[in-house]
């Protein structure tokens, strides 16, 4: 799972940088590298999307495992 996490994180970072470039400079790096609407571009976009979903799931799992049970009150 550790390898999948790092792979997903790298893809999400690549996607974030690409969206930053699109927003700031109107430059789509993925399309520039692989061609607009090419099979490779669509593959990269799809992998970035799946990586985002994967990280969302991992984050939700981590948040759930770090919750602590409420403290019980005891009377003496």
- Tens of pLDDT along 44-68? 999 999 999 999 998 888 887 766 5
Mean pLDDT rounded to a whole number for the chain: 88
Cα distance between residue 20 and residue 59, in whole Å: 23
Confidence label for 73 from pLDDT (cuts 50, 70 and 90): low
Residue 64 inside a domain? The answer is no
Q: Name the residue range of residue 18's domain.
A: 2-58
Largest CA distance in the chain: 73
Q: Considering its fold, how many domains does the chain have in total?
A: 1
Residue 68 inside a domain? The answer is no
How much is the pLDDT for 15? 95
**pLDDT beyond 70 at 34:** yes
Q: 9: which residues sit within 8 A by CB, 6+ positions away?
A: 51, 55
Handedness of CA 28, 31, 33, 39 (dihedral sign): positive
- Considering the entire predicted model, what is its pTM? 0.75
% of residues, the chain, pLDDT over 70: 84
Residue 67 inside a domain? The answer is no
């Amino acid at each position: 799972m550790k390898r999948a996490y790092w792979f997903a994180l790298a893809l999400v970072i690549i996607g974030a940088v690409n969206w930053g470039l699109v927003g700031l400079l109107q430059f789509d790096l993925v399309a520039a590298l692989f061609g607009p609407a090419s099979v490779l571009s669509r593959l990269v976009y799809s992998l970035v999307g799946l990586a985002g979903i994967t990280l969302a799931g991992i984050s939700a799992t981590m948040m759930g495992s770090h919750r602590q049970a409420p403290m019980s009150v005891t009377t003496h």
